[in-house]
Amino acid sequence: MKLLFPTLIALLLIYALIKRCDPYDAFVEGARDAVPTLLSILPNLALMLGSIAVFRAGGGFELISRLLSPVFGALGVPAELIPLLVMRPFSGSAALAVLSDVLKTYGADSFIGNAASVCVGSTETIVYTIALYCGSAGIKKTSYAIPVALISGAVGVITGIAAVKLLLG
Amino acid sequence: MRRTDIKENVSRETFSFLFVNSGAHRCIACYMMSLIITVLFAVGCLLCIVNGISPLDELISGADGAVKLCASLAGSYLIWMGLMNVAKRAGLVEKLARLIRKPLGLLMPGVSGAAAPITMNLAANFFGLGNAATPFGIDAMRELKREAHGSESATANICMFLALNASAIELLPTNVLAIRFSLGAADAYSIVLPTLISSIFAAVAAIIASKAFASIIK
């Protein structure tokens, strides 16, 4: 795995050279296009990460966890996982920090620890990703993308917990 | 007009912005992202003030984080976009796109120029290269928008692409494994199979849900 991508990249450069299509020039041209894109995602990221920081500092994620605990309970999700699941769609680094807390508190090999790991692995920081992708492409109306993403996340979490119960006991 | 009629009309007018209606240009539900940001910010501000924290400081430090994130993305972004262009000029992207267009067409009808970046995005995600997936994802979104003649609202294909991203099919969830190793899990890899299984279920759900929503809205 560590060798796969470097090898592929080297092969790509050699292939391009053999085909006489000037890989150096092609690389610079492509990378140049990345600069305006990077600048154009910055405003989206600033607003997104700024408001998430405000919400998080005020304890908003804890509040949502408390409000949503009956819903999660009805779906068979253990209460210990709720803060993690509420955080997950918004911030990847925050979710990993919460996961690390959960693993420390309940043990990395416990049912809760395994279930938390699977939930993080089978979901994505999707609200953030949609904001980033749509913002950088100039798409203002996300239509039904967010509800679909949340449905997919919920299915991932529920089947993930079931799979941990079945496979890891 | 009877009083109840008036009441009903008024409430329908007042809440009309909540109804998802493809014809209505002013429905707030279409601007879901603005709605989420506004709620996060407004509720967050209120909670911060109640707890004696300065919301402005948090807002600015969050935006600082955005600059740092952008800077840390910049290196991999430059490299992957550069390499993508090398592959494009060597004709490899066109080959890949031709190979994948048919199977991808089942999920996203009419996709052409976006086929290659979509494939690269999903492949990068599959191999756990999150930083590489982002530039391909942005590229794919721009191509999909071009294919929709520059429409500012997400098309069925864009929603399908985002849905596939949401289900996070990964061979190895590298971040999670790293944390499990560092915390001394006896069998850090035990979660790989359940993660893969639940990701596949999530992907199937994402595909069904976006097809269902697409047919409802149409």
Domain that holds residue A45: 35-168
pLDDT, one tens digit per residue, over A33-60 is 888 888 888 888 888 889 989 998 999 9
Residue B16 has pLDDT above 50, yes or no: no
B187-B204-A88 Cα angle (round to 5): 55
| Number of domain units in chain A | 1
In a domain, A144, yes or no: yes
Q: Which residue has the higher pLDDT, B123 or A164?
A: A164
- Residue B168 to residue A41, Cβ atoms within 8 A: no
ipTM: 0.84
In a domain, A2, yes or no: no
Q: What are phi and psi of A141, to 5 degrees?
A: -105, 120
Cβ-based contacts of B52 with chain A (< 8 Å) = none
Residue B3 has pLDDT above 60, yes or no: no
Identify which of B60, B85, B201 has the shortest CB distance to residue A156: B201
Q: B139: nearest CA in chain A?
A: A137
Distance from CA of B7 to the nearest CA of A (A): 30
Decide: helix, strand or coil at residue B151: coil
Q: How many CA atoms lie within 13 A of A32 on its CB side?
A: 7
Q: What are phi and psi of A122, to 5 degrees?
A: -100, 10
CB B33 within 8 A of CB A89: no
In a domain, A13, yes or no: no
Distance CA A27, CA B88 (A): 10
Helix runs in chain B, H state only: 3-15, 32-50, 55-89, 92-107, 115-126, 130-147, 156-166, 174-182, 192-217
Residue B15 has pLDDT above 50, yes or no: no
Q: Please, which pLDDT band fits residue A149 given cuts at 50, 70 and 90? A: very high
Cβ-based contacts of B60 with chain A (< 8 Å) = 50
Distance from CA of B26 to the nearest CA of A (A): 11
Distance from CA of B12 to the nearest CA of A (A): 21
Distance CA A57, CA B51 (A): 9
- Residue A148 to residue B66, Cβ atoms within 8 A: no
The lowest-confidence range among A85-89, A108-112, B6-10, B78-82 is B6-10
Kindly state the percentage of chain A with pLDDT values over 90: 51
Distance CA A144, CA A33 (A): 30
- Residue B173 to residue A121, Cβ atoms within 8 A: yes
Residue A161 has pLDDT above 90, yes or no: yes
What local confidence, expressed as pLDDT, does residue B161 receive? 95
The lowest-confidence range among A31-35, B27-31, B33-37, B100-104 is B27-31
Distance CA B169, CA A33 (A): 28
- Residue A54 to residue B209, Cβ atoms within 8 A: no
pLDDT, one tens digit per residue, over A100-129 is 989 999 999 999 999 999 999 999 999 889
Residue B114 has pLDDT above 60, yes or no: yes
Strand locations in A13-166 (E):
none
